[in-house]
Amino acid sequence: MKLLLHTCCAPCSVQCVETLRAGDIRPDLFWYNPNIHPYTEYRSRRDTLVKFAGDEGLTLNLEDEYGLRSFIAGVYGVNESGGGRSRCAYCYRTRLEKTAAFAAEHGYEYFSTTLLISPYQKHDLVRGIGEEAAARYGVQFFYRDFRPGFRAGQKQARERGLYMQKYCGCIFSEEERYLNNG
Ligand code: SF4
């Protein structure tokens, strides 16, 4: 079975890819993350994924859009009223709808996302938005709770020398990570 896997970064992809392959599923990777700022951070994560895909012999589809302005404009209203949860819902929807649309256009029956491996993400929200996007574009959202493999995947990524990010992605999450935390 072939599946389009939205990838937030290389470290989170390691274990997801391994798990899918073990289940006889062939993941093709899809990069679309306009939520990662600033540009130097975006470039580090993107380039690390390109290298990882090459090393693993994986097909990588790059939607290479650094989306600082559009992302900030998109989250500004919800961010003011609903805090992080609304902001993250916008963020997940933006990325997963693009993935579902790409899957539909390119003949993939299934898509999924490496966001499902991180214990730091709002897991149920990711799942719900993935399923909504799937229904909208006439494809299937492949749900799997990858979280039990998170630590092992991060360890493997570190040992392989992959770039490891220090915050979720957007400039707001960078502030939350560092303001008052050194
Ligand atoms: S904290 Fe992470 S998931 Fe939430 S909006 Fe920012 S980048 Fe997206």
Confidence of residue 167 (pLDDT cuts 50, 70, 90): very high
Q: Give the global pTM.
A: 0.94
Per-residue pLDDT tens for 96-120? 999 999 999 999 999 999 999 999 9
Per-residue pLDDT tens for 9-63? 999 999 999 999 999 999 999 999 999 999 999 999 999 999 999 999 999 999 9
Per-residue pLDDT tens for 69-103? 999 999 986 655 544 558 999 999 999 999 999 99
Long-range contacts, 169-176 (Cβ 8 Å, 24+): 169/8, 169/33, 169/35, 169/36, 169/37, 169/41, 169/91, 170/35, 170/36, 170/37, 170/71, 170/75, 170/87, 170/91, 171/37, 171/38, 171/68, 171/72, 172/75, 172/79, 172/84, 172/87, 174/37, 176/84
Residue with tokens 């992959």: 162
Nearest CA to ligand 1 atom 5: 88
Confidence of residue 182 (pLDDT cuts 50, 70, 90): low
The answer to whether 162 and 9 have CB atoms below 8 angstroms apart is no
Probe residue for ligand 1, chosen from 78, 88, 120 as the CB with the greatest number of ligand atoms within 8 Å: 88
Structure tokens that stand for 43 in this block: 């470039």
- Per-residue pLDDT at 112: 98
Is the per-residue pLDDT at 6 higher than 70? yes
26-31/140-141 β-pairing: unpaired
- Per-residue pLDDT at 107: 97
Confidence of residue 180 (pLDDT cuts 50, 70, 90): confident
Per-residue pLDDT tens for 129-140? 999 999 999 999
- Per-residue pLDDT at 56: 97
Four-point Cα dihedral 182, 148, 160, 122, nearest 10: -50
The answer to whether 109 and 79 have CB atoms below 8 angstroms apart is no
What is the CA(1)–ligand 1 centre distance, in A? 30
Average of per-residue pLDDT across 160-182: 92
- Per-residue pLDDT at 84: 54
What is the CA(85)–ligand 1 centre distance, in A? 9
Which amino acid belongs to residue 117?
Answer: I
- Per-residue pLDDT at 23: 96
